[in-house]
Amino acid sequence: MTLMLVLGLLLTSLSGCGSARDTQITRLIGVSLANLTDEWRIVLKNELEQEEKKYSGLKLVFTDAGGSVEKQKNDMKELISYGAQLLIVSPVDVEELMPEVEGLYYDGMPILLLDRAIKGFDYTCFFGTDDRLLVKQELEAVAALTGGSQDKKVTVLNVLMNNYTGRQRSGLLREAAGDNLQIRQIMIQNGTRDETEDILMENRELLEKADLILTQNDYMAYGASLALKRLGISGVKILGVDGFPGEGGGLEMVKKGLIDGTIICPTGGEQALSYAMRYLNGSRDGAKQIITRNTLITRDNVDDYYPEKKKALKRNIKAVGYVQIDENTGFRRANTNSFSDACREYKIELEIKECSTIQEQLDAFCGFVEAGKDAIIVSPILEDGWDEALEMARAADIPVILSDREVSCSEDMYTSFVGSDFVEEGARCMRWVEENMDYLEEVRILEVEGTKGASPAIDRGNGFRSLMAGKDKYRIIDTLNGNFTSVEGYEAMTDYLSRKDADFDVVFCHNDDMMIGVVEALKEKGYAPGEDIKILSIDGTKDALDRIKNGEANFVAECTPLLGPNVMRTLWQLGDGQEVPLRVISSEETFDENTPDTAFRNRQY
């Protein structure tokens, strides 16, 4: 059955709209929505339908699972049987739908997830909010709206939906809340305005004790304001989430003073569809997660976020400064090259300054601000110490893209981060230890960390340790510092072995270059790295993978250096006045002795 015929049948059966025969359909994308009752998904559908018009030959076919996982599983199968070439899925439940998504993904169906990411990484790309960052912003908003300070006790009534997102955000809020914050909670079913109003009407006492009511969406926030009004309770702040424009949306509610604030939670629909079309046209930009930016809206800034005002913000981005790290590692060489190629494609004049100290980087950065660059890219050697420089760029209205490494200041100090999930990279190494060294009573681990204070070193160490928690058989006996270079990795291990024998079963290296130095040092002392001592590292350079193949190393978690294209695309989107993601997280593989040979071929670094 040809695609056209299928589509003809589909259209008449599913949506009863006019015949398709007059438009040449070349792309069919299935969109499986969790439901079409809550506002967020209705806005998502409308946004996707708007975006669809931009692509000739594209047809989106929507299904509505009505909140049922079983129906959603069938919907996905049905869309594929109708010839869908790619699926966009907003999951009803991330745990229950996971096996289905994984199965279809490994059968070769490209799957984009919106709004809720299934556990793990077995999908093509995720678009949406990072709940951890959203909760962090909610706490900043609570402090801002209640004039809270560390010593003032504040009571928050958290009104959530009894679904995956509600439970996730409730847990994250309790985890992140400071001692001065007292959290009371009410779980409701559907998250509508009326249901919220009715339930809060029955909880006068909780409302009277609250300084602020936090809700999972703006409709619930409006319901809360109606309940407060009917109960005659005043002085309680209300904070919603979503911040959609248009009549009845969160922006209007803030503007009219019905609620005190909301946090914009973009659907990610626009980015997802442009990614889908690039993907179907063969481009693989290597992103695994596109995290949207959340913005706190209060009466002070609401006018700036009305679509008509926001659209105007096109920029001329041509002259770009890049503060890079001066480092002779496999990763860094490939990283810098990926920029020179990409900036040619995007016709960007890139001035690269390679620096070996944080002070050199700060000087180069401020130099680019004074030179009036259109934008600045920076790979910060260390995550601390950037507040002043970033504030300077912000005051000069110069967008800043963090590439590869992160800074410790808040997300509103820079435009986007393009790079890897270092925490997950560290966790992948520990997952390998758990899966492959369980035969040992006790597993003694020697860690070789990268540059102290650098985000990859901090996060990889945390990610590794996060999976050790509560498992006494795994012990990090010592941490050496190799500063991410093979020479210093070699020296650190040689020094260790000059003081004592190899009293460890595993060496966990934060990057490949150090691992290569460590392996040489172990061999010089007559040990057999990869055999009696297991060797793990991160990056995925050719040199490191050669050691997997010759048995001197056991596991490598990829950290792709090829960030140029995604950084340049983000700059291009910025110039075009589009909403740019807060984070573009790379898609990465892992390698061990079981990895098929094909995966080792065609490596670009």
Binding footprint of ligand GYE on the chain (CB under 6 A): 327, 329, 331-332, 404-405, 456, 484, 511, 513, 538-539, 559
Bridge partner list, 376 = 321, 400
**Nearest-approach distance from CB 136 to ligand GYE, in angstroms:** 23
C-beta of 94 vs 401, nearer to ligand GYE: 401
Which residues, including other chains, have CB under 8 Å from residue 598's CB and lie 6 or more apart? none
Phi, psi of 318 (to 5 degrees): -125, -55
Count of all residues that appear for the chain in the document: 605
**Smaller CB distance to ligand GYE: residue 131 or 488?**
488
Tokens for 142? 């609570």
State which residue, 217 or 324, has the beta carbon closest to ligand GYE.
324
Residue 435 beta carbon to ligand GYE: minimum distance, rounded to whole angstroms: 23
| Residue 355, helix vs strand vs coil | strand
- In whole angstroms, how close is the CB of 541 to ligand GYE at the nearest point? 8
CB of 156 to ligand GYE, least distance (A): 37
**To the nearest whole angstrom, how small is the minimum distance from the Cβ of residue 524 to ligand GYE?**
23
3-state secondary structure 275-291: HHHHHHCCCCCCEEEEE
CA R_g for the chain? 26
- Smallest gap, in angstroms, from Cβ of residue 287 to ligand GYE? 16
Q: Nearest distance from residue 512's CB to ligand GYE, in Å?
A: 6
Rounded to the nearest whole angstrom, what is the least distance from the CB of residue 525 to ligand GYE in the complex?
25
Smaller CB separation from ligand GYE, 227 or 454: 454
In this complex, which beta carbon is closest to ligand GYE, that of residue 573 or of residue 586? 586
**Least distance to ligand GYE, CB of residue 269, Å:** 31
464 vs 484 by CB, closer to ligand GYE:
484
Nearer of residues 170 and 451 to ligand GYE, judged by Cβ: 451
Q: Strand, coil or helix: what is 346?
A: coil
Contact of 145 with 206, CB cutoff 8 Å: no
Write the CA distances from 337 to 328, 578, 603, integer angstroms: 13, 27, 14
Burial call 302-325: b when 16+ CB within 10 Å, e when fewer: beebeeeeeeeeeeebeebbbbbb
- Whose structure tokens read 């790619």? 86
**Cβ-based neighbours of 577, under 8 Å, separated by 6 or more:** 311, 312, 313, 314, 315
Cα–Cα distances (Å) from 60 to 40, 53, 87, in that order, read: 18, 10, 10
Look at phi and psi of residue 37 and say left if phi exceeds 0, alpha if psi is from -120 to 50, else beta: alpha
Distance set, CA 488 to CA 104, 135, 448, 480, 541 (Å): 45, 40, 10, 10, 18
Residue among 35 and 511 whose Cβ is closer to ligand GYE = 511
**How far does CA 70 lie from the centroid of its chain?**
28
Residue 347 DSSP symbol: T
Q: Which is nearer to ligand GYE, 223 or 561 (CB)?
A: 561
SS3 track for 540-564: CCHHHHHHHHCCCCCEEEECCCCCH
In the bound complex, what is the minimum distance in angstroms from residue 4's beta carbon to ligand GYE? 47
Closer by beta carbon to ligand GYE, 75 or else 404? 404
CB of 464 to ligand GYE, least distance (A): 14
Residue 27 or 332 having the CB closest to ligand GYE: 332
Strands 287-291 and 319-325 turn out to be unpaired
